[in-house]
Structure 1
Amino acid sequence: MLALALTALTACGGAGGGEGASSGGPGEGGSSAESIKVGVVLPRSGREAKPGQYQLEGIQLAIDQINAAGGIDVGGKKLPVEMVFYDDESDQAKSASLVQRAMEQDKVVAVIGGYSTALGQAQSPMPDRYRVPWITPGAAASTIFNQGYEYTFGTLAPVNLLGYTTGEFLGWLVDQGKLEKGMTIALVVENTDHGVDYANGIKQWIQEHPGYFEIVVEDTFELGGTDFSGLLQKVKNANADIFLSDAHLEDYITMHRQYTQMGLRHKMISYGARGPEQAAREALGDAVDYIFAGIWWSKELPYPQVKKFVDDYKAKYGREPDSWYAATAYDAMRILAKAIDEADNLDPTAIRDALRQVELTDSLLPGQRLKFSENGQVELPFVIVQNKPGGEVDIVYPEDAATGEVVAPIPGS
């Protein structure tokens, strides 16, 4: 019944949030096409609106640059990229139905979408069902990429690697003499596959390196919570040395506000991939100082293409990119454009086949080489950044990418 309802909803255009498609030819063949229609389904409203907006901006910047250069050569004809955008309003059911609408009705050649694990999971069955490639620049949970899907791709490295890198970073601090061996950890994560992967990555590192750390409290919380005081009281009672959480932006802001109000102090604090966002700084001020985060990209990476991207983004939007959101989406559009060029036609399966082989050798992401692995997900390293007083953010790990010295333990802890 739900499937029938969704089909009826999308057929009548009732899913909402969409700007719809304009003319431009079918998503197959390409000889009669006047443009290359690419679907984009991201949240521009609801709880994930801020990251969704940043990802949309990265995609739009890439499209503007592609079109300014003449478009993409398909069968000897230069075609512009035409975005077919829908706002899924941070709603899972709507997100899935809008991807279906873009693929089935708008005849896009590919879809970029799925900010967050929940929205990505909702969208991920659609690509194989409609045989249209899908690239997510904002979801990285293993449950999306271990289903055997053939049309699914992602520009975020796995979340379990984020957790593992967090453990590796803390272990490196022990080896540097900045933290003591045997410290205890309070680990609280969102009750999603993202949270499970993050926790598993940390626990894997600890198991492989006995004696470094001990987890003394482990718990979960629901997305979109407004009161984390009970959970934080457990953390306080555990008297742990280190506090590690995995939280989306709004939950990070809410939780850390309550953490501060309860007077909690730890030697190191992390909220997973969240920490340096401007929204958190605006909401919490210097309470976010010294929080560290493992992120997929930083504007401090010392690559010339990163500097150009930051400059171009600032010229277009009047501000620098906030955290990693826009960069992973920008590269998702760029590698899709390269795959379309390699396929030399607009057949979605041909584009899928090209995505499996193509490599972006001037990627913004760590390592500068973006290529999808066998399961469709990239395998790239994370960088660890740390907030500093005055709104500064430094890359502090790995050493060869560091732009500043790590502060550990947190002063006053």
Structure 2
Amino acid sequence: MRGARLGSFLVGLAVLLAACGNSGSGTPAPSTGAPIIFGAAVSLTGSQSKEGGLTKQGYDLWLDWINQRGGILVNNAKHPVQIIYEDDQSNANLSATLVEKLITVEKAQFILGPYGSSATASDAIVVEKDGIPMVESNGAAQSIFSHGYKYTFGVLSPANKYLTGVLDMAATLNPKPTTIAMLAANDNFSLEVAKAVADYAPSKGMQIVFNKSYPAAAPDVSGLISQAKAANPDIVMNSGHLAEAIAINKAAKQLGLNAKIFAYSVGPSTPDFISSLGPDANYVYDGSQWTPQVKYKPSFYLSVADYVKAYMLDHLIRARSAMLWPPSML
């Protein structure tokens, strides 16, 4: 819920965001309260299972961190946290069904968002109906936030900011690249990203010379890349998801599409992009929601070492270090 009034959810947000600090010299030591139940329907199988797996890793890392400190502090009682997971199989309709189950059967008091804008949009309808707050970090389509929902809280950059930072960077180069091939999967998030690039490019003295959408999770993009190559773009951009980014990068290499800049909305900052493409993953840009160069506040944000220790993905850290930082995180 961006920019909306908090209203009666002040207490709920306090629970979600409370950091477990010291209780203060004049306050009795905290007691132990009842567990707080979070529910999450994430893509553990299906076409977006890689992204869903990373989403779960992030939730689990926070779960370990908060429970090591005794839980969430509310009214001088520390409440341990539980997360109940369901696999939405990369299906937005199933995600909504599972969120309803988490709320009504598993008695989740808060929902953590799924992966992807389509599933987030479906889940937002459910939490609004049931009056259960959902904090989501993987649904960036602005259409999610155009309905006046009071129970959906986004904590990531909106879709229209995902790739405009690449154009800002490109505009500083000499000679400046001026032509763009824009590819997009035909889902709400991807189309919003592509539209934002098309709208923003003229302000940087650039033009779209090829603009085409394709079915999400398309298995073969070679025809699309052949068409883009014919336009001889300086910049190739794709707005889609991990599997599509890998396929497009491979096809560009195979077909000799040699643009000056390649940039994708999702993919380059994930370990599977690097392991799938090897050296061809170098110098491919995206917008990252996190980078170790930025000094975050408050201090409960985890460190690079914490992520590496938890998942042994030091190659992910190196990749993220090279990514562009988006203009806004919220």
Q: Same fold (TM over 0.5)?
A: yes
Partner residue, 1:291: 284
Partner-residue secondary structure (3-state), 1:273 = coil
1:272 corresponds to which of 250, 265, 269: 265
Partner-residue secondary structure (3-state), 2:86 = strand
User: How far does the alpha carbon of each residue in 1:31-79 deviate from its partner, in whole angstroms, 9 at most, with x for none?
Assistant: x972111112211121211221122121112122212212223344322
Partner-residue secondary structure (3-state), 1:195 = helix
Partner-residue secondary structure (3-state), 2:44 = coil
Spell out the pairing of 1:353-364 with structure 2 (5 A cutoff): none
1:317–1:398 CA distance, 2 compared to 1 (3 A) = closer
1:53–1:251 CA distance, 2 compared to 1 (3 A) = same
Q: CA deviation at 1:314?
A: 2.4
Structure 1, unmatched stretches of 5+, are: 1-31, 324-386, 400-413
Q: In 1, distance between residues paired with 2:322 and 2:211?
A: 29
Q: In 2, are the aligned partners of 1:216 and 1:240 still within 8 Å (CA)?
A: yes
Partner residue, 1:332: none
Q: In 1, distance between residues paired with 2:218 and 2:202?
A: 31
Instruction: State TM-score, norm by structure 1.
Output: 0.66
Partner residue, 1:36: 36
Partner-residue secondary structure (3-state), 1:125 = helix
1:190 corresponds to which of 179, 185, 193: 185
Matched residue type, 1:190: A
Partner-residue secondary structure (3-state), 1:34 = coil
1:85–1:398 CA distance, 2 compared to 1 (3 A) = closer
1:37–1:165 CA distance, 2 compared to 1 (3 A) = same
Q: In 2, are the aligned partners of 1:42 and 1:56 still within 8 Å (CA)?
A: yes
Matched residue type, 1:283: S
Spell out the pairing of 1:10-409 with structure 2 (5 A cutoff): 34-173=34-173, 177-180=174-177, 183-209=178-204, 212-303=205-296, 308-320=302-314, 322=316, 393-395=321-323
Q: CA deviation at 1:308?
A: 4.4
Q: In 2, distance between residues paired with 1:290 and 1:64?
A: 34
Q: In 2, distance between residues paired with 1:225 and 1:245?
A: 13
Q: In 2, distance between residues paired with 1:241 and 1:202?
A: 14
1:55–1:322 CA distance, 2 compared to 1 (3 A) = farther
Q: CA deviation at 1:169?
A: 2.3
Q: In 1, are the aligned partners of 2:288 and 2:323 still within 8 Å (CA)?
A: no
Partner-residue secondary structure (3-state), 2:90 = coil
Q: How many aligned positions are there?
A: 295
Larger RCO: 1 or 2 (CA < 8 Å, sep 6+) = 1
1:69–1:138 CA distance, 2 compared to 1 (3 A) = same
Structure 2, unmatched stretches of 5+, are: 1-31
Q: In 2, distance between residues paired with 1:298 and 1:64?
A: 21
1:300–1:203 CA distance, 2 compared to 1 (3 A) = same
Instruction: State TM-score, norm by structure 2.
Output: 0.81
Matched residue type, 1:44: L
Matched residue type, 2:207: E
User: How far does the alpha carbon of each residue in 1:318-352 deviate from its partner, in whole angstroms, 9 at most, with x for none?
Assistant: 334847xxxxxxxxxxxxxxxxxxxxxxxxxxxxx
Matched residue type, 1:394: A
Q: CA deviation at 1:255?
A: 1.7
Partner-residue secondary structure (3-state), 2:172 = helix
Q: CA deviation at 1:196?
A: 1.8
User: How far does the alpha carbon of each residue in 1:128-180 deviate from its partner, in whole angstroms, 9 at most, with x for none?
Assistant: 1000001111110011111111101111110102233232222233xxx2425
Matched residue type, 2:84: V
Q: In 1, distance between residues paired with 2:326 and 2:191?
A: 24
Q: In 1, distance between residues paired with 2:307 and 2:230?
A: 45
Q: Percent identity?
A: 26
Q: In 2, are the aligned partners of 1:47 and 1:90 still within 8 Å (CA)?
A: yes
Partner-residue secondary structure (3-state), 1:219 = strand
1:321–1:58 CA distance, 2 compared to 1 (3 A) = farther
Matched residue type, 2:176: L
Partner residue, 1:326: none
The RMSD of aligned alpha carbons is: 2.6
